[in-house]
Amino acid sequence: MAGALISTTIPNLINGVSQQPYALRLASQCELQENAHSSVVEGLRKRPGTTHRAKITNAPAGELFTHTINRDRTEQYEIIVGNGALKVYDLKLGTEKTVAFPNGTAYLAATDPRSSFKAVTIADFTFIINRTITVAQDTTLAAARQPEAIIWVKQGSYGTKYSITLNGVTASVTTPDGSTASHISDVQTDAIAQNLITAISAAISGFTFTRNGSSIWVRKADGADFTVGVTDSQGDQAMKLVKGSVQRFSDLPAKGFDGFRVEIAGDQSSSFDNYYVQFKTESGTQSGVWVESVKGGEAIRLKASTMAHALVREANGTFTFKQVTWEDRKVGDLDSSPMPSFVGKKLNDIFFHRNRLGFIADENVVFSRSSDFFNFFRSSATQVLDTDPIDAAVSHIKVSILQHAIPFNETLLLFSEQTQFSLGATELLTPETISINQTTEFECSLKARPVGAGRNIYFTFNRGEFSGLREYYVDGDTKTNDANDVTSHVPAYVPKDISKMAASSSEDTIALLSETERNTVYIYKYYWNEQEKLQSAWYRWTFPASDTLLSVEFVESNLYLIIRRADGVFIESMPVNPGTKDTGFDFGLHLDRKVTEASCTVSYNATTNQTTITPPYTMQAGEEFVIVSRDGDPLKKPGQIIPYTPSGNTMVVAGKVEKFFLGRNYVMRYRFSTFVIKEEAVGGGQMTVGEGRIQLRKANLTYDTSGYFRVEVTPFRRDTYRYVFSGRVIGSAKNVLGQVAVDRGRFSFPLMAKNDLVTVDIINDTFLPCAFLSAEWEALYVIRSKRL
């Protein structure tokens, strides 16, 4: 049973945590990873620190709703809604923007803003919905006109009797027989109309008569209703009566009276019926046209105080939050042009798709008119136009209350708690071409809005006391939709009740917040090489227990965090892209809440030769803050830790300090999986060799751009052994006194334990960087038998 000295390489350390038995894990997976970031470019490195951007409130707030406006590369804003107030912050400058509130502040009231509001930004308009408010129609009604009629002398004929009967009183006019040439003027239609006015005015009082050409406008002086009829001796073909409704549009005179409204009842020869027209006089003339109108006395308007409100970026860089003026219904009645189906319901989501603003409510999806985001009514009651609003419902055997709408793969993906639907169309999205089909049935936890990243959409689901994450995609071969569980190897890692997700397609990163672990960001890092996924890593970034993470948002490669602490709510940012550096350094300082002297109150006392520094926030007890000198300080070289004496919320430093970084330390920890021997399996892949004893001797770490780390080796029931790398390598050109030493190379440390009876951790609890590319271990392998 002679032992064999063996060694094995771990090619990289970037595939995160696995909860599978160690024999089934990849060599690049680990047991634990906290405050480290897995990068396919830089390897495993300490996560970047956060930079203090702004303090939102001086007192702790409740839950907050946040929305990011990424206007362009120079303008990026964060909207914060909470406690009935709305604020806007410039993410680059950390300054609060001016917001005017001409109306609409009552719409911001909610007991849980985080789940009550949703928003979408279209150019300089950000539409915000309150999911707790029921949309209502306004009490404003279409103006109802007093009873009126038009008597139209349609045809003038010789020897014809024309009669009008008003409230039972009849007056008649008979045209001459045409025996003389002078009679021609008496059979002109406008002359007949004028003679009828003269006759009826003499026969009955209390009426007002107005003529426009051959049309007579009849109204009762007191506004009351009346009866009216017309007859003629030409078989009732020479006169037409227009009151209330007519059968056909051709029954209307060419000349009417401004504002006169009538219903076109329709007949079997037309494809439409029951629409309304109104006469519109051309400016300065008695001529005009009949245009479509609404039925009087019916609701025509959405109640603005219950509909989505808008935050508008003004030309001067300020913002205005206000109610939106939604377009009124301008045609038809409530049957031919009804209110949108979301009236009487609560809005669940708002979105923008194919140049239409959209809402989902209950089981319905409602789109505005194309390119007219403020209009949810038809433009004509007589025909359906391609640009008209769209109002469609999903159809399924299960109750499918829609919660989220996410644009995906040229369609709109709709989420209910158990089913996913795809809303699509042909080249144009119109009321005639829209289709909604059920695509998949995956249970969802919809507290967190699904997020799109690249070609996929990610959504969560509850798995007992934990959460899972699915990666939704379209199969390129079958053109069907499916969703992989990317938490299958960490089924009990991500806590339940995910409340917020943010995605960065440029960094292939998903960040998740849970309602049960409020001081932790869970990270899913992935990398695709065409159709092959080379990285699928889970790990977490932790903050002190006193920190409550309210929200996270990605803007390009920066992760913005909204954090509640005992002294208020803060905005902080974290760059997650490779190669981040702080000014004057070749690396980024790994400090949270990082600020420079420009954000602090700094005073130097020449008498005591002391510098007093007060940061722009309250330092919590038990947290370790560090002052690091930076480029530009005449007395100190960059990278020196400056000792200080705490005094309340100030730091007292001996001597004069002018340029520095200040921030809070945090600890990175990475724990290796149990070291095992793998061999090629029949059929491909690898399998773990279970036979024999693996007595570990030592391990090597290949590191890059590292200034400090230590390895802690803890054999079972024995003391922990610590092996420190300080960045200083004897003989290295980078080992210069008075300067921060950051180097690359190989670090060797002993293990001296059985492979499954030892814990090996990498720890970095300083502001200095560390990055690890690969590892290898050496062991004495003893086996009784010979393997074939």
pLDDT of residue 359: 98
Contacts of 598 (CB under 8 A, 6+ apart): none
Mean pLDDT within 754-777? 97
Give the closest residue to 396 by CA, choosing from 356, 341, 438, 450. 438
Closest alpha carbon to 105 in 137, 79, 132, 83: 83
**pLDDT tens for residues 651-690?**
999 999 999 999 999 999 999 999 999 887 777 677 888 7
> Would you place residue 741 in the very low, low, confident or very high pLDDT band (cuts 50, 70, 90)?
confident
The pLDDT assigned to 731 comes to: 63
What digits encode the pLDDT tens for the residues 429-478?
Answer: 999 999 999 999 999 998 999 999 988 999 999 999 999 999 999 876 66
Judge whether residue 727 has pLDDT over 90.
no
Q: What does the pLDDT average to over 144-160? A: 94
Question: Residue 492: its pLDDT value, please?
Answer: 97
Instruction: Tell me how far apart the alpha carbons of residues 243 and 15 are, in angstroms, rounded to a whole number.
Output: 79
Q: Which of 362, 344, 266 lies closest to 299, judged by CA?
A: 344
3-state secondary structure of 316: coil
Q: Residue 506 pLDDT more than 90?
A: yes
Among the ranges given (489-503, 629-643, 709-723), the one the predictor scored with the smallest mean pLDDT: 629-643
Q: Dmax over Cα atoms in the chain, in whole Å? A: 142
Instruction: Evaluate whether 145 touches 260 at the Cβ level (below 8 Å).
Output: yes
**In whole angstroms, what is the distance from residue 128 CA to residue 139 CA?**
23
Q: Average model confidence (pLDDT) for the chain? A: 93
The confidence score (pLDDT) of residue 565 equals 93
Percent of the chain with pLDDT over 90: 82
The residues, any chain, with a CB within 8 Å of residue 785's CB and separated by 6 or more, are 691
pLDDT at 739 exceeding the cut of 80? no
Half-sphere exposure of residue 37, counting CA atoms within 13 Å on the CB side? 25
Tell me the average pLDDT across 191-195: 95
How high is the pLDDT of residue 266?
79
At residue 720 the predicted structure's pLDDT band, cuts being 50, 70 and 90, is: very high
Confidence of residue 162 (pLDDT cuts 50, 70, 90): very high
Q: Write the single-letter amino acid at 378.
A: R
- pLDDT score for 1: 52
By C-alpha distance, which of 475, 483, 410, 411 is closest to 444? 483
Measured distance CA(669)–CA(678) in Å, rounded: 26
* Residue 35 confidence (pLDDT) above 60: yes
pLDDT score of 3: 75
Q: Give the contacts of 235 (CB within 8 A, at least 6 positions apart).
A: none
Q: Go through 5-41 and write b for each residue having 16 or more CB atoms within 10 A of its CB, e for each that does not.
A: eeebebebbbbbbbeeebeebbbbbbbebbbbbbbbe
Residue range 226-245: average pLDDT? 94
- For 259-296, the pLDDT digits (tens) are 999 999 876 666 666 899 999 998 766 789 999 999 99
Rounded CA gap, 779 and 145, in Å? 97
How, if at all, do strands 148-153 and 686-688 pair? Answer: unpaired
Which pair of tokens denotes residue 144?
């109802």
Q: How far apart are CA 287 and CA 260, in angstroms?
A: 13
- What whole-number distance in Å separates Cα of residue 265 and Cα of residue 387? 25
Distance between CA atoms of residues 303 and 104, nearest Å: 12
Return d(Cα 12, Cα 22) in angstroms, integer.
17
Confidence band, pLDDT 50/70/90 cuts, at residue 76? very high
The residue with greater pLDDT, 733 or 129, is 129
Residue-wise pLDDT for 592-621, tens only, equals: 999 999 999 999 999 999 999 999 999 988
Q: What are phi and psi of 556, to 5 degrees?
A: 55, -120
How do beta strands 610-614 and 601-605 pair? antiparallel
Mean per-residue pLDDT, 546-568: 94
